[in-house]
Amino acid sequence: MGAFIAAATGFPAVVFTAALAVVVLYWLLVALGAADAHGHGHGHFHSRAHSGGRWLGGVPVTLAFSLFVAVGWLISFCASVLLVPSSPAGVLVGAVVLIGTGYVSWYATKLLVRPLHRLFPDEHGPSRLDFVGLTCTIRTGRVDADFGQAEVRAADGSAATVQVRQTGNDALAGGSTGLLYAYDEPGEFFWVAPYDSALDPRTGPGTTG
């Protein structure tokens, strides 16, 4: 047991041992429900590599990093036992082992996550352009060419506060309903106009049940 601890806490394995401790703690929190396996949260910690990523292969970063650390720890531990001598030259050998372990672990992780990619289909977050054509509720006392905010609900039911502007002098006061008909990318705001339900083919008088 003493030899195992010495190898795990010695250089270079200690680098991956510390990282492995963090990974194990994280997955324990996931098991207890205190963390999300995909990393979702208010801070948007979740990150997913796209198919053209360097080595994550399109799976959540948390999973890929866990595999990288686990493989790296196993390789560095075995190398510490078999290759790193207990002499002054051990530090130099350990540094070479650490660099080699990182490369081998990177390549092994890339191979391991490849078959897992199909379990994690690409998910695209909502785009601001998805709001064009939706109605909104004005949240400011006025809307003009330079000022205005509104609340809009996405298709999934989530609400967002967006900047809105209008070209005319229509009465758009707080609580009134507007229609987002265009998005200005340079200004990062929506053009809005008063919404008349009677003119909406989905809700107008000509609608039949």
In this predicted structure, what is the pLDDT of residue 54? 38
Per-residue pLDDT band at 50 (split at 50, 70, 90): very low
Per-residue pLDDT band at 48 (split at 50, 70, 90): very low
Per-residue pLDDT band at 121 (split at 50, 70, 90): low
**pLDDT for residue 49 is more than 50:** no
Residue % of the chain over a pLDDT of 90: 29
CB atoms inside a 10 Å sphere around CB 138:
22
pLDDT, mean of residues 164-185: 90
In this predicted structure, what is the pLDDT of residue 68? 92
pTM greater than the 0.75 cutoff: no
In this predicted structure, what is the pLDDT of residue 178? 94
**pLDDT for residue 14 is more than 80:** yes
